[in-house]
């Protein structure tokens, strides 16, 4: 289990950390709710398949009125009316079909397992989006602070250049250069504020609320020892691969089910009816038992076409499994390399910031002694700003890359991260629905309560 710990800034109210953002995304995601509903629909497909193994009972009430006229060529016809009511109870039960419906039930179960894994994949995407939104707000906030600080420093440089111009130490050109750089920085600050506004909007969309004060630095999850280890873990546990494997299993069962359904089937039937005449005191009671063997011999080529279609669908999902496996392995490789590059970039940018700061402070000191021009100072300050911007970008990139690698391995879930949320248990609804309970049964009433709690009824 990966545990995410965040350091709070001392002396301030509790700030939001990355865990808070992911909890918010998990609890408020409409996409998660949509896919949970799709999973419940797949659960009901199991119930529907299970119901086909049971008898079908119909109750029929029919009222009938007969008109009859009798007569001859010499005698006028006499019309009689007869009214009767029939109540009938009929039962049909497919008692043998060579196992076709049982295979259909097994295929529905595999589809449920595939849909569960698809739900996990959606959960990973939602959490990764929250991670990216979180660190983008942090990045843009730091960029705004950096531009504001740079604007303050340039304002000081402008005032110093103006003072030196007043005493004749520099020319008007030096003052104009300082004014130009201040104007450019104001423009950069406006762009940074726009970027922060966009980042906050994306955060609100991904997490479900506007960001507060965010903790800038969090401890990152421990990465794999090697790329090979990461790829091996992903092949074993990534939800997209597991979903594709269950889809293949369902397709295999469907091929068998279609082939079996072309064979003979045996159906038992029972009908009990009572007919009472309302025009007289007559009545009749009837009962019928039947056992029917059915074998379809010809359907214009449609029978074999159904088998071929099922096999083609199976071949399609088999190919998809191979594609998904390759994509997952590549995603792991891309995320692993991205993280390594981000870490190298962060280390290099830290050294760049250190060197640029030393250079800037030295050039500014030399400028006070007349050994450097205002342009030299402004150039050194811009280089320091560029280095600091690269550093905060590299820090955000490292953080996002670490969680992207976690997602690529199939480990970015609320359960594996240990998030303080009510984990959605897909087995609760499935266990209630899988046996197709009737509404009046105890299990059916429990299922109704679950639906009511979900706000779906």
Higher pLDDT, 76 or 347: 347
Which pLDDT score, from 0 to 100, does residue 74 have? 66
Q: What is the mean pLDDT of residues 400-428?
A: 93
The span from the CA of 404 to the CA of 396, in Å, is 12
Which pLDDT score, from 0 to 100, does residue 4 have? 35
Quickly list DSSP for 13-25. PPPB-HHHHHHHH
- pLDDT confidence tier of residue 6, bands split at 50, 70 and 90: very low
The span from the CA of 143 to the CA of 374, in Å, is 25
Based on the number of CB atoms within 10 Å of its own CB, is 326 exposed (0-12), middle (13-18) or buried (19 or more)? exposed
**What is the tens place of the pLDDT at every residue in 112-123?**
999 999 999 999
Checking if the pLDDT of 457 tops 70, the result is no
Domain locations along the chain: 18-55+97-264+305-424
The superfamily in CATH containing domain 18-55+97-264+305-424 is Outer membrane efflux proteins (OEP) (1.20.1600.10)
HEC profile for the chain?
Answer: CCCCCECCCCCCCCCECHHHHHHHHHHHCHHHHHHHHHHHHHHHHHHHHHHCCCCEEEEEEEEEEEEEEECCCCCCCEEEEEEEEEEEEEEEEEEECCCHHHHHHHHHHHHHHHHHHHHHHHHHHHHHHHHHHHHHHHHHHHHHHHHHHHHHHHHHHHHHHHHHHHCCCCCHHHHHHHHHHHHHHHHHHHHHHHHHHHHHHHHHHHHCCCCCCECCCECCCCCCCCHHHHHHHHHHHCHHHHHHHHHHHHHHHHHHHHHHHCCCEEEEEEEEEEEEECCCCCEEEEEEEEEEEECCCCCCCHHHHHHHHHHHHHHHHHHHHHHHHHHHHHHHHHHHHHHHHHHHHHHHHHHHHHHHHHHHHHHHHHHHCCCCCHHHHHHHHHHHHHHHHHHHHHHHHHHHHHHHHHHHCCCCCHHHHCCCCCCCCHHHHHHHHCCCCCCCCHHHHHHHHHHHHCCCC
Checking if the pLDDT of 78 tops 80, the result is no
Per the CB < 8 A criterion, the answer to whether 413 and 4 are in contact is no
- pLDDT confidence tier of residue 1, bands split at 50, 70 and 90: very low
Which pLDDT score, from 0 to 100, does residue 65 have? 85
Per the CB < 8 A criterion, the answer to whether 434 and 43 are in contact is yes
**What is the tens place of the pLDDT at every residue in 134-153?**
999 999 998 898 888 888 88
**What is the tens place of the pLDDT at every residue in 175-209?**
888 888 889 889 989 999 999 999 999 999 999 99
Checking if the pLDDT of 5 tops 50, the result is no
Average pLDDT of every residue of the chain: 87
Distances (CA, A) of 127 to 3, 121, 152, 208: 15, 10, 38, 12
Strand residues in 256-404 grouped as ranges (E): 265-277, 283-294
Which pLDDT score, from 0 to 100, does residue 194 have? 95
Checking if the pLDDT of 7 tops 50, the result is no
Which pLDDT score, from 0 to 100, does residue 71 have? 67
**What is the tens place of the pLDDT at every residue in 296-350?**
888 888 888 999 999 999 999 999 999 999 999 999 999 999 999 999 998 998 8
- pLDDT confidence tier of residue 364, bands split at 50, 70 and 90: confident
- Whole-model pTM: value is 0.85
Which pLDDT score, from 0 to 100, does residue 288 have? 92
Which pLDDT score, from 0 to 100, does residue 58 have? 92
**What is the tens place of the pLDDT at every residue in 223-276?**
888 999 999 999 999 999 999 999 999 999 999 999 999 999 999 999 999 988
Higher pLDDT, 45 or 173: 45
Which pLDDT score, from 0 to 100, does residue 185 have? 85
Q: What is the mean pLDDT of residues 160-174?
A: 80
Which pLDDT score, from 0 to 100, does residue 158 have? 83
Which pLDDT score, from 0 to 100, does residue 77 have? 64
């Amino acid at each position: 289990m990966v545990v995410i710990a965040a350091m709070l800034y001392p002396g301030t109210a509790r700030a939001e950390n990355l865990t808070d953002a992911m909890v918010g995304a998990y609890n408020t995601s409409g996409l998660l709710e949509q896919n949970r509903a799709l999973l419940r629909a797949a659960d009901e497909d199991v119930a529907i398949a299970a119901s086909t193994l049971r008898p079908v009972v119909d109750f029929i009430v029919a009222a009938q009125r007969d008109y009859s006229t009798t007569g001859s060529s010499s005698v006028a016809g006499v019309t009689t009316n007869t009214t009767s009511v029939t109540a009938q109870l009929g039962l049909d039960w497919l008692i043998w079909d060579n196992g076709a419906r049982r295979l259909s039930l097994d295929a529905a179960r595999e589809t449920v397992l595939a849909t569960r894994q698809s739900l996990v994949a959606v959960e990973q995407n939602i959490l990764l989006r929250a991670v990216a939104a979180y660190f983008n707000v942090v990045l843009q906030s730091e960029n705004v602070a950096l531009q504001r600080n740079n604007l303050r420093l340039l304002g000081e440089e402008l005032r110093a250049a103006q003072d030196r111009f007043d005493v004749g130490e520099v020319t008007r050109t030096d003052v104009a250069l300082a004014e130009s750089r201040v104007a450019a920085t104001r423009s950069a600050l406006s762009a940074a504020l726009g970027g922060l506004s966009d980042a906050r909007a994306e955060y609100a969309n991904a997490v479900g609320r506007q960001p507060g004060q965010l903790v800038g630095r969090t401890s990152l999850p421990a990465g794999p020892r090697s790329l090979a280890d990461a790829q091996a873990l992903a092949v074993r546990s990534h939800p997209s691969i597991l979903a594709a494997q269950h889809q293949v299993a369902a397709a295999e069962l469907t091929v068998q089910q279609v082939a079996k359904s072309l064979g003979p089937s045996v159906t038992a039937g029972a009908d009990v009816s009572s007919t009472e005449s309302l025009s007289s005191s007559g009545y009749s009671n009837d009962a019928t038992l039947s056992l029917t063997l059915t074998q379809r011999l010809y359907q214009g080529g449609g029978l074999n076409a159904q088998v071929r279609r099922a096999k083609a669908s199976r071949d399609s999902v088999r190919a998809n499994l191979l594609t998904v496996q390759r994509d997952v392995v590549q995603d792991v490789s891309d995320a692993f390399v991205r993280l390594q590059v981000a870490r190298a970039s962060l280390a290099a940018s830290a050294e760049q910031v250190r060197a640029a700061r030393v250079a800037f402070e030295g050039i500014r000191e030399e400028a006070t002694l007349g050994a450097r021009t205002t342009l030299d100072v402004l150039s050194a300050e811009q280089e320091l700003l560029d280095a600091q911007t690269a550093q905060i970008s590299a820090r955000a990139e490292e953080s996002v890359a670490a969680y992207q690698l976690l997602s690529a391995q199939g480990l970015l879930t609320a359960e594996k991260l240990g998030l303080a949320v009510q984990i959605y248990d897909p087995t609760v609804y499935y266990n209630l629905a899988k046996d197709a309970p009737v509404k009046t049964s105890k299990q059916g009433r429990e299922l109704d309560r679950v639906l009511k709690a979900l706000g779906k009824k």
